[in-house]
Amino acid sequence: MNNTIQVGLLGLGTVGTGVVRLIEGHQEDLKSKIGANIHIKKILVKDINKDRSIEIDQDKFTENALDVIEDPDIDIVVEVMGGIEETKAYMIEALRRGKHIVTANKDLMALHGAEILHEANVNQSDVMYEASVAGGIPILRSISEGFSSDRITKMMGIINGTTNYILSKMSEEGADFEDVLHEAQQLGYAEADPTSDVGGFDAAYKIAILGTLGFHMTIAMEDVLVEGITNVSKEDIAYGKKLGYDIKLLAIAERKEDQVYLSVQPTMIKNTHPLASVGGVFNAIYVHGEAVGETMFYGPGAGELPTATSVVADVVSVAKNIKLNVNGRTSSMPYKEKKMMDEQDVMSKNFLLLHVQDKAGVLAKITEIFAACHVSIESVLQQPVEDHDFVELVMITHEASKSNFKQVLGQLEALDVVQQIRSMYRVEA
């Protein structure tokens, strides 16, 4: 029996530093949970001589990843360095050497998770990646264990703190997107290049991971419809409020029978829904199971210690498996054939903002198109615009198929009385 579990760390950035703080500072608690000591033996860094916010014995540092991966004494490799191709190669090699992996790398697991999990299965090793989605929220463990006796039909969440901060500030202050983005960058909530966040790609990686785990299918990035928040205006948010909705960047994964649909897009959500109250940089994931019904998980989605908490929780899980000699038996390999929904089966309400000519008979022409395409209208709001020859027409539909709504949009674009389709959003009641 191992009395000490040896850990090697790939990376010592924000999350890596948090991992060291927790492991070094919680030794007594960790030993009581595992029945063994946890010892960090080696740490991969870019610069051994760099000043750091935490005191660490420099003898543990290395600038060569192989010093961690090839060390026969290291049981668990914790990957918090980021990157994709090079990092994937390191992880595959570590698995082939019989090591176990804990990672916070959402990009890697979304793009190559199936291959990494297969390699782990071949080598009877553990791969844990709780921190790759929603930081400190234990959502992956909840899905794989808590829902193991249920069938998940829908997951819907706010899983990118940057975009949620921006939309929250736009809603609270009536501010423009660019102004709030600049403020978020100054505060450190947004990167200098915010494309991954505001373009929806960060959330898409995460919902692909959730979809793979929750639906037991290998979901690829190309299976996720992705739309960011760069076109969301303060006017859209104001109209939503008038109708009782907030706009959130929602990642959605839904299953009907054996078919699934996944998307990331700005969505109008009823202001009475629990997700509508999630503000700032916080994350929340709503999960619906056939048996349990509705559940929601809420908490910090990023940060040194919240994310490190999930990483160390995975280290504890792997260490327990080592003590029990049951490694390689808990990975959730996809076992169902992937079947994507047709657009005719994707159902939702829709918000539509049109600029239309200000004259009699316009609304009748527009409603005729909706009726011909089998899309019914739930509510209509017409707003004159000062010093312009058009009015703004806001419509929310009843639930309709995506294909039928696309037909509506195509015919509206060709209609002479419609000057512009200003914006459109999915609506979640």
Q: CA nearest 251: which of 297, 200, 299?
A: 200
Note if 206 is an active site residue.
Answer: yes
Q: 388: which residues sit within 8 A by CB, 6+ positions away? A: none
CA distance 305 to 378: 45
CA distance 284 to 271: 15
Q: Which two tokens stand for residue 112?
A: 């190559």
CA distance 409 to 184: 34
Quickly list DSSP for 20-86: HHHHHHTHHHHHHHHSSEEEEEEEE-S-TT---SS---GGGEES-THHHHT-TT--EEEE-S--SHH
Residues of 323-343 as b/e, b for ≥16 C-beta within 10 angstroms?
Answer: eeeebbeebbebeeebeebee
Q: Report which DSSP code applies to 219.
A: -
C-beta pairs of 140-145 under 8 Å, 24+ apart in sequence: 140/209, 140/210, 140/213, 141/313, 142/287, 142/297, 143/210, 143/213, 143/214, 143/287, 144/213, 144/332
Answer left, alpha or beta for residue 247, where phi above 0 means left and psi between -120 and 50 means alpha: beta
Query: Phi and psi dihedrals of 220, rounded to 5?
Result: -100, 165
Query: Phi and psi dihedrals of 103, rounded to 5?
Result: -140, 155
Answer left, alpha or beta for residue 401, where phi above 0 means left and psi between -120 and 50 means alpha: beta
Q: Which two tokens stand for residue 104?
A: 């916070």
Q: CA nearest 246: which of 351, 129, 151, 382?
A: 351
Note the maximum CA span of the chain.
84
Q: CA nearest 287: which of 277, 274, 278?
A: 274
Q: Considering 206, 248, 349, 402, which one is annotated as catalytic?
A: 206
Residues marked active site are found at: 206
